[in-house]
Amino acid sequence: MRVDILTLFPEMFPPVLDHSIVGRARKKGLLQVCCHQLRQFSPDPRGRVDDTVFGGGQGMLLAAEPFARGIDEICAHLGWKPHILYMSPRGKVLDQEAARRLARQPGLLILCGHYEGVDQRLLEEYQAEEISVGDFVLTGGELPAMIVTDAVSRMLPGVLSEEACFTEESHYSGLLEYPQYTRPEVWRGRPVPPVLLSGHHENIRRWRRAQALAVTRKNRPDLWERFNITKEDREILEKLEDFT
C-alpha cells in the first residue's frame, strides 16, 4: 500500500512512521509513505496557502488550490487516483472496521488541515472522505494522519507476524481486549490469575472471553449495546464470579 500525505509539517512524520511496526513494514516494502509539503503547491510566490474566511470569523482558512494542485500532481505521478481522506473533527470517527476497509484500498491520500480547516469546495471537488480520530479538536491533521496510517498499515498482509496479533486485540471483534500478564508470577503482591498458569487451553480461552466481555461492558457501554452476545457468552458471564 502507498500512503501520500499533504501537510504543512512533513517533518513531524519520520520520528513516528520510521520506527516500530510501521517502520519495519516500510523497510520490507509492504508500505510506502510519502509526505509532501503543501506550500510547494501554492500558486503564491511566497508559498502562502491560507486566507481569511468569507463571512467573517476567527482564524485563517487553508485555500483549495494548493491542495488541488498537490492532489493532481500526485495522481498524475501515480497514474491512478488513491482514496482521499481529510482529517477533520466533524468526520466519522475512525474505528477498527474503518481501518480494515481502508486497508483494502491500493492507496490513500491524506489531507492534513490546519488553522480553521480547508475550503469546503476542495472536499466536494475531490469527494474526500472526512475522518475523525475522536470527539475532540487538535491543532492540525498531522497527528490524526499518523494514527490512521498506523491503524491501517498493521492490517496489511505480512505486516504483523500472525493474524492473531490483531484479531484478538481490542475492537477487532467488537469487544475490548482481555487483560494480559507476564513474568514475574507475583508482582508487588499481585499474582497472575491461576488459570493462565494452568496450561488448560480451553479454560484459558473461556477466561479471556469472560474478561473481554466484562471489560467491554464496564468501560464501553456504547460498544456493549451494539455487541451481538452469543449463547456461549451468556453462559460464560453467568459463571463469572467478579463481574465488575
Say which CATH number the domain at 79 has: 3.40.1280.10
Q: Is-cis flag, bond preceding 184, omega within 30? A: yes
Q: Which of 88, 122, 153 is the last residue of a domain?
A: 153
pLDDT digits (tens, 9 = 90+) for 29-83: 999 999 999 999 999 999 999 999 999 888 999 999 999 999 999 999 999 999 9
CATH number for the domain spanning 216: value is 1.10.1270.20
Confidence tier at 241 by pLDDT (50, 70, 90): low
Confidence tier at 203 by pLDDT (50, 70, 90): very high
Tell me if 200 is assigned to some domain.
yes
Task: Tell me what pLDDT residue 161 has.
Answer: 73
Tell me if 89 is assigned to some domain.
yes
Tell me if 160 is assigned to some domain.
no
Model pTM score = 0.85
Of the two residues 161 and 195, the one the predictor is more confident about is 195
Residues 147-167 have a mean pLDDT of 81
